[in-house]
Amino acid sequence: MYKHYLTYQLALSFDRACCALRIAPNRHAELMRCSRQMVVYFNQSLQEADPTQKSKSLFVAITYLRDCRQMLDEDGVDTFEIRGRWEVLHTRLEQLVSEAAKAEGGQLRMLG
């Protein structure tokens, strides 16, 4: 279905892992919002035909993923399951952002 099916599945897996965390309810809601938005924007980037829009969607997705990391750090969450998924997903999204920036002329390379 998707060219980057495994990355998409990893994004969904990360989102489910965030959902299963037991942290303060207000922080959990904020974490869930960020992880869900990351999946939404990543999915949107996969459907974009315009390279500029694809780059922007990927950049927003990686920004939400980084926000998730910041919240996890602030709440002291350091499980291998979450961190391992985050590291792999972050690395893959950085690669995709770089590829998309090259394809659209490099306008977004400085943002990542």
Q: Which pair of tokens denotes residue 59?
A: 């950049």
Chain segment 77-102, per-residue pLDDT in tens: 888 889 999 999 999 999 988 888 78
State the Cα–Cα distance between residues 89 and 105, nearest whole angstrom.
24
pTM above 0.85, yes or no: yes
Q: Which pair of tokens denotes residue 30?
A: 């904020």
Cα 29 vs. chain centroid, distance in angstroms? 17
State the Cα–Cα distance between residues 108 and 71, nearest whole angstrom.
25
Chain segment 6-48, per-residue pLDDT in tens: 899 999 999 999 999 989 999 999 999 999 999 999 999 988 8
State the Cα–Cα distance between residues 66 and 97, nearest whole angstrom.
14
